[in-house]
Structure 1
Amino acid sequence: MTEHYIGPEGIKAKRASYFYPCTQHFYQNPPQIVTGSMQHLYDEKGKEYTDFFAGVSVVACGHCNPAITGATMSQIGKLQHTTTIYLTQPIVDLAERLAELLPGALRRTFFVNSGTEANEGALLLARMHTGRKGFIALEQGLHGRSNLTMSVTGLSMWRTDPFLEEEVYFIPRPYRTGVTPEEAAQDSLKALDKVLEEQGHTIAALIIEPIQGNGGIIVPPEGYLQEVKTRLERYGVLMIADEIQTGFGRTGRMFAIEHFDVVPDIISMAKALGNGVPIGAFATTDHIAASLNRPSASTFGGNPVSSVTGIAVLDYICKERLVERSEELGHILMQGLEQLMISHRAVISEVRGKGLMIGVELLASNPDIGAILTDQVIEGMKEQGFLIGKNGIDRNVLAFQPPLVIEDKDIRKMLRVLEVVLARLELPEEIEVGVGRDPR
């Protein structure tokens, strides 16, 4: 029996009728996605797309991966839900597996349903442990859409609530146009010092993405996070590493924080852990975990289906060496994009990232036009069968975050197509070759 699809126009009509106006979509002419298999997606007409965004780093193990969906479906047929007040095995087995993989002495895990909840829980834990209320966060960071996580979010487009927490102190991220990474890092550290000197006794934690995702895929310079941790420890302020987008192999390490030789006090995770099944968690040490001792629960957090899925994800990542694969294929992708930057200097200002989390900023000298060109590129790539994301504070950064099961041949084919799409861009006359941000 042939399935009936209402098509993109039908879906857009229903969204207009039943969704809130805040819900948007990519593309002027979006496809209706109906099926997926590993690194590929298919629309209602059967057209194949190679996915280079992975649902914003969610399906790291690939769409509908049989090794994972098989475990999920098996558990659905046995036991779907009880909540944590009953004893079930999958949730404790997953917690045990995570303890084996988490950095340092992090070993206690609280399971929730999403990245927002994971960060909310991590912030609560920091308050409970320190007895302090305030937080420090980086400008242009993104941590969630609840009131508290939105309060520590530095990206203005995601700060929707007009009544956010006031005791949040933002410091510059270690990245800025027109200065070296070292200078940007020093400016950030000076701002951190000032906040700590003036408010350190009121600050519970600093929350930070080891690599900023939606802020444009920003990698901190060497030594920055170590300096941050040292300063926090002087004032008894905890460090929360938000690994929602970077965790589970995305950057060529199991967790991105491991690139920087720093062990946070609390780590939050979600996205790739469920490979599309809702799950989130925050983890910490025995000592800090002891502070979260008043009755608490998450109705659906760590339910049997999500937990079995998470175990299958970790098994697959380890068995298939996806962490190492991300690092190896990331080098190929990075080198290819850097070559395109050389031949398209008028458009590409910078290529940055780690592993299979790479951003390509377009026209940093004129980000408004860069954002227009970014939309043209992702539209052109979509027409040629490749789905690429976008982010950045001006939405002028192409985001390459494919499933970690992507293949060498997929990357090389995508690069060839991207070369053609870039060559077809119509640039305004005032754009001069070589104008833009100094590549680092």
Structure 2
Amino acid sequence: MTMTNPSVISIKPRLRSNIKQHTPRIFGQNGFGALINSTLAPLFVLPLPVLELATLAEGARGGVRLGGLDKGRGPSFKCGSNFCLEYGRSFVKGPDYDTVRAIRERNLNPALTTFYKKPLLIHSGKMQWLYDHEGKRYLDMFGGIVTVSVGHCHPRVNAALKSQIDKLWHTTNIYLTPKIHEYAERLTSTLPQGLDCVYFVNSGSEANDLAMTFARLYTGNFDIISLRNAYHGASPYTMGLTAHSTWKYPIPGLNNGIINAMNPDPYTGIWGGNKCRDSPIQTDRACNCGANGCEASKNYIKELDQIFKYSLPKGKVAAMFAESIQGVGGSVQFPKGYIKAAAKLVRDNGGLFVSDEVQTGFGRTGEHFWGFEGHGITPDIVTMAKGIGNGFPLAAVVTRKEIAQVMSKALHFNTFGGNPMASAVGIEVLNVIKDEKLQENSLSVGTYFLEELSKLRDEYEVVGDVRGKGLMIGVELVSNKDQRTPLDSTQFMEIWEQTKESGVLFGKGGLNGNVLRIKPPMCITKTDVDFAIDVLKLALDAHKTKYL
């Protein structure tokens, strides 16, 4: 067939009789499928980018699915075993790619790295979907680095922002404005009793930086503990808390007053195994604990206690910072009971426990609104950002009144923190999470996702570990399953690049860069999961054919 309109897509079954066995499925913008009636003519033409095409093999996802569109350089084909897709440019056009790349190289700081060999130029987004400058659609499995919580350009959040823009943008907090007060009350209502005093800032780094100041002023102590493999920000203060060499610059005094403790990782750590995680999916590493269950937590706490015995003045710690699930570190979960025991140990030694909920908050882990609730604790300080504003610059530090009071010893000010626009967005994000039951969706869809990914771990030697809770998921790729050897970067990038080419955007992380980070907008569906799984299978099959 010759395409007469470069903005349409054609599906051409190789055999007319195969239509019933391999029925094309059309995915709408919100991920809901509608089956094409098998009585339709062999040629089916659809406008784009409103619709996406894939195939559903009979009975199971054994067939090949192809998502996404061509790069837009004229019509082309992609074929599965029983169909071909013919496609071309979308109606939607964005800015010129080469011009944008040239400006970036000339005017933006070179530290701003990009994903993929040919970086994406994202033009627009809708809920769980992103569109590049040529109209190609991608299923977003990274959510702007765990930031888009309720969906790209969610209409209710957009409407709340537009309404506030017409009333008041900014005055600073030296005057009273309604929205920041309404939002502070709403936000603290989601937290345990006592955590009722908010200081609004603009980013996770700012929030953790301020929490360090709170802890040092309140306790009168200086030293702070964080875990190896943690990420808490990239400001001069928080760069010390962050325990990844890849995020540290050679600045004198960077780790002044910071001690990085052994990371309690049940998959790659000294202790742990298949009895230890609070997750629907356990590691398949044989547990090196006793017959009575996981003892990893107890052993890692003994290691933490060594810091108090040997590295700090007695009873003189300011705080310990911990993520509920490590994000940048590769979605690492801790042994059950570790966080609760660590918080007690820190408090017994005069310090505060700070829960970094920048990535795990706002219902993402499914079972609870806040990640720390899954560990059975109430922190002294909670920091939050990213999903709090669905992509709008907004962050916060929440603590008890007596801790917050220490900041009154001097003047402190944040120009944009909690401004009327940010507060309006924050309020509506809370409304949407509740009204659309996105926490519940994170639990049900996330558990389904984990279960489907665990099947890939059983099927492919390169998939070493699947872990997480809700929609806070990591898939660790390895070259040796028994030794848990990280997959080398070349092979990892081949898998990762192919998933992008097939229309799914996964994140990546971990110290060795070998973990697929799956933290999508919380509005995704099980249909979206099926598509993502098939795209990942396609890439894993290609890797298996090439290397194994």
Give the TM-score of the pair, scaled to structure 1.
Answer: 0.93
Pair 1:239–1:4, CA change in 2 (3 A): closer
Say yes or no: does 1:407 pair with 2:525.
yes
**Which residue among 204, 207, 218 is the counterpart of 2:318?**
204
Pair 1:398–1:409, CA change in 2 (3 A): same
Say yes or no: does 1:11 pair with 2:11.
no
Pair 1:194–1:4, CA change in 2 (3 A): closer
Q: Which residue of 1 aligns with 2:354?
A: 240
Instruction: Please state how far the C-alpha of 1:114 moved relative to its aligned partner.
Output: 0.5
Further displaced range: 331-340 or 292-301? 292-301
Give the TM-score of the pair, scaled to structure 2.
Answer: 0.75
Instruction: Please state how far the C-alpha of 1:183 moved relative to its aligned partner.
Output: 5.5
Question: Is the Cα contact below 8 Å between 2:93 and 2:134 reproduced in 1?
Answer: no
2 CA distance for matches of 1:358 and 1:295? 41
Report the RMSD for the aligned CA atoms in angstroms.
1.8
Map 1:34-433 to 2 at 5 A: 34-163=123-252, 164-175=254-265, 176-177=268-269, 179-181=271-273, 182=294, 184-198=296-310, 199=312, 200-252=314-366, 253-293=368-408, 294-344=410-460, 346-363=461-478, 365=480, 367=485, 369-425=487-543
- The 3-state SS of whatever aligns with 2:327 is coil
**Which residue among 108, 115, 120 is the counterpart of 1:31?**
120
Q: Which residue of 1 aligns with 2:44?
A: none
Instruction: Please state how far the C-alpha of 1:166 moved relative to its aligned partner.
Output: 1.9
Further displaced range: 97-106 or 113-122? 97-106
Say yes or no: does 1:22 pair with 2:111.
yes
1 CA distance for matches of 2:380 and 2:259? 19
One-letter amino acid matched to 2:415: T
1 CA distance for matches of 2:108 and 2:296? 41
Question: Is the Cα contact below 8 Å between 1:147 and 1:165 reproduced in 2?
Answer: no
Question: Is the Cα contact below 8 Å between 1:105 and 1:285 reproduced in 2?
Answer: yes
Instruction: Please state how far the C-alpha of 1:185 moved relative to its aligned partner.
Output: 3.2
Instruction: Please state how far the C-alpha of 1:373 moved relative to its aligned partner.
Output: 2.7
- The 3-state SS of whatever aligns with 1:275 is coil
One-letter amino acid matched to 1:97: R
1 CA distance for matches of 2:462 and 2:338? 30
2 CA distance for matches of 1:229 and 1:165? 22
2 CA distance for matches of 1:397 and 1:364? 12
1 CA distance for matches of 2:463 and 2:270? 16
- The 3-state SS of whatever aligns with 1:147 is coil
Structure 2: gaps spanning 5 or more residues: 1-90, 274-293
Q: Which residue of 2 aligns with 1:438?
A: none
Pair 1:280–1:161, CA change in 2 (3 A): farther
1 CA distance for matches of 2:195 and 2:299? 30
Instruction: Please state how far the C-alpha of 1:5 moved relative to its aligned partner.
Output: 1.2
Flag the structure with more relative contact order, 1 or 2, with Cα contacts below 8 A and sequence separation at least 6. Answer: 1
Where is the helix percentage greater, Structure 1 or Structure 2? 1
Instruction: Please state how far the C-alpha of 1:179 moved relative to its aligned partner.
Output: 3.6
One-letter amino acid matched to 1:169: I
Question: Cα deviations across residues 367-400 of structure 1 (Å, max 9, x unaligned)?
Answer: 5644333222221111111111000010000011
One-letter amino acid matched to 2:365: T
Pair 1:104–1:371, CA change in 2 (3 A): farther
- Number of positions where the alignment pairs a residue of Structure 1 with one of Structure 2: 428
1 CA distance for matches of 2:94 and 2:373? 47
In our comparison, the structure showing a higher alpha carbon Rg is 2
Pair 1:335–1:370, CA change in 2 (3 A): farther
Pair 1:426–1:342, CA change in 2 (3 A): closer
Aligned identity (percent) is 38
- The 3-state SS of whatever aligns with 1:201 is coil
1 CA distance for matches of 2:187 and 2:239? 27
2 CA distance for matches of 1:28 and 1:426? 22
